Structure 1
C-alpha cells in the first residue's frame, strides 16, 4: 500500500476533492504526534490523527469544509470529558483543502521519513525468514533481506523490502550504517556464527539477534571464546549485546509467525532505545 501522497494523487486524478488533516500541536498526553495526518473526502478517509471522538470531529469538519468551499481551518481540541476522550492532553489540528502542491509536500515528507528509518539486515530466507520479512514489511524499517539462495525467496517480495542475493553477506554487514539491527537465521550454523560475531564486533548495532536455543547460544559463546586467543578479539562485554534466543518473551511456541511477532517487538524497543 502506498503512502498518503499516492492516495491523494489518485483521488485528485479522479476528480475527488479532499482535505488534509494534520496534527499541528500537542500538549500533554495525546494519541498521536505532531505531523500525523489523514486525508478525508466526502465518503472516504486514509491515515489517522488518533481515532476516537478527536478523529470523528476532524472528519466531520473536513467534510463540512468540502460542502462550504472553505479552504483552510483549525481545530483546538482538549482531550477530556467534553469530547468523550480521556487522554487529558490538547491537540491542535490543521485542515486544508488538498491540491497538487499537497501531493508534492506529502511525498517529500514521506521520503524524509523513509530515509530516517533504521536499517535492519535480515540474513536468511528460510521459513522463519519469510515470516519475519512479512511481519516487518509494514514497520518503519529499511529492511534488507539477504541470502545466497535466490530460489529461497518467495516470488512476491513484501512491499518496501530490499531482496539481496549474494554469496558475500559479510560485505553487506560491513557496509551497513551505524545503528543498524541484525537478525541472523541462515541455513548454516557456521555462517550464523560468523555474521553474529561480525555484527557484535562493529560495536554500533542497535540489535543483534541470533535464532536458536540457549544451547546454540552456549555453542556460540564457546566458539567466540576460542577465537579470542588474539588479544584484539577479546571483549568481555561482547556477548552481553547478543539476543539469543530471540523472541524470548514467550517460550515454547516455535511457530514462525509467533516468533516474528515477538522479534518485531524486540526490534522496535531496541531501535527506540537508540533514538532511531
Structure 2
C-alpha cells in the first residue's frame, strides 16, 4: 500500500519515464474552510489525467483544462476562491480560499528522490526556489517545521505511509483494519495463535505470525507507527506493550476495561516499564462514545488514533472516560 504522497510522486515519475508531460500541484496557503491542508499534492498529466487531490474536485477540473492547454511552462502560483464570482464559476462551495504552486515536471530528478525515500520509510524534504524553479532534496529532513512558504521559497517535508500494528486477529481487529486502511494506514496483524490467524481474511493487510514483542521490534521503527493490542490475553498484549511503549510509535493503546487496565499497568511496572513511559499508554483505548458493537469500538479507537496523529488536544475525552466506555 502506498501513502497518498508516495502514490502521487510514483505516478508522476512513471509518466516522466514514459516521456509524457506533467505538472505537480501543491497547496501552499489556505484561508477559511478548505478540503486539504498545506502540503497536499496533485499530479496532472498533459492529457488531464490526475492522481491525488487539492480540493473536492472543483479546482482539479479547472487545472486539468489549463494543463491540457499547456498553460504552465514555469513555476506558477495561482489562487482559487478569492472572489465570489470565481467561487461561482469554479464551484468552491466550501467558501474557502487556496493558493497553489504549479510546477512543470521535466526531469526525473524533480521526483525520483521522494519515491526512493518514501519506499524505504525515510523522511525527505523538498525545497523549491520559485524564481529559478530549482528543486533541492534533503534526506532525513532535519528542518524544525514540516512546511514553509513565503512567496519566494517553498519547503515541505514528506514521510512514509502510516503503519498500524494490531495485536490479535479477532472480530474487533477486522473492523479496525478495514477502517484504518481508509485512513491511509498500512495495516499489519500480529497473532501467533493459529486458531485466530487461520480465519483472517481482510484484504490488503499483512498477517504476521511472530510473537508480539518480536513483531514490534521488527516493524515499529519510526514515529509514523502505531500499536494497539486487542487480544485480552496478557501473555500476548503485555509482550507487545513492553516493546511498544519505549519505541518511537506515536500511539500505543490497549483494549480493556478500567479494571483490566489497572492490572495491566501494574504488570508492566513489574516488568521494568517506568511510570513516565507508562503514561504513553492509551488505555482504556478509544474515545468514550458509548461503543458496544465491534464496528463502534473500532470507530472509537480510530477517532482517538486520528486525534493523536493530528496533534489535536483531547483531554476532555480522556477525563470523561468511564468504565463502560469500552468493556471487555
What TM-score, normalized by structure 1, do the two folds share? 0.71
> Which sections of structure 2, spanning at least 5 residues, go unmatched?
122-158, 313-328
Give the number of the structure with larger relative contact order, counting CA–CA contacts within 8 Å between residues 6 or more apart. Answer: 1
Match of 1:164 among 193, 196, 208: 208
Q: Does 1:244 align with 2:287?
A: no
Distance in 2, matches of 1:195 and 1:170, equals: 5
In the other structure, the counterpart of 1:54 is 59
Q: For the structure 1 residues 173 and 50, does the alpha-carbon distance in structure 2 shift closer, same or farther, using more than 3 Å as the test?
A: same
Counterpart of 1:129 in 2: which secondary structure? Answer: helix
Alpha carbons 1:147, 1:165 under 8 Å: kept: yes
What per-residue deviation string (whole Å, max 9, x for no partner) do you get for residues 49-85 of structure 1? 22354333212312333xx9x7667351153224214
The answer as to whether partners of 1:157 and 1:163 remain within 8 angstroms in 2 is: no
What is the Cα deviation at residue 110 of structure 1? Answer: 4.1
Question: CA offset at residue 173 of structure 1?
Answer: 2.3
Counterparts in 2 of 1:25 and 1:58: CA distance versus 1, 3 Å = same
Aligned residues: 257
Q: Deviation per CA, 1:71-108, whole angstroms, max 9, x where unpaired?
A: 667351153224214324x5133153x78x56x85565
Cα RMSD (Å): 3.9
- Residues 48 and 67 in structure 2, CA contact (< 8 A), matched pair in contact too: no
- Which segments of 5 or more consecutive residues in structure 1 lack a partner in the other structure? none
**1:18 positional shift:** 6.2
Give CA-to-partner distance per residue, 1:112-154, whole Å, 9 cap, x none. Answer: 3452335432211122222222222344445432111356256
Structure 2 counterparts to residues 87-102 of structure 1, below 5 A: 87-88=96-97, 90-94=98-102, 96=104
- Matching of residue 136 in structure 1 with residue 180 in structure 2: yes
**CA distance in structure 2 between the partners assigned to 1:234 and 1:52 by the alignment:** 49
Does residue 1:79 correspond to 2:81, yes or no? yes
User: What CA distance in whole angstroms lies between the structure 1 residues aligned with 2:23 and 2:264?
Assistant: 52
1:73-222 equivalences in 2 (<5 Å):
74-82=76-84, 83-84=86-87, 85=92, 86-88=95-97, 90-94=98-102, 96=104, 106=111, 108-113=113-118, 115=121, 116-117=159-160, 118-149=162-193, 152=197, 158-159=203-204, 161-166=205-210, 168-175=211-218, 176-179=220-223, 180-186=225-231, 188-200=233-245, 202=246, 204-222=248-266
**Aligned ranges 1:216-235 → 2 under 5 Å:** 216-224=260-268, 227=270, 233=272, 235=274
CA contact (8 A) 1:76 1:93 kept: yes
More helix by share: 1
Residues 11 and 78 (structure 1), Cα distance of their counterparts in 2 relative to 1, 3 Å cut = closer
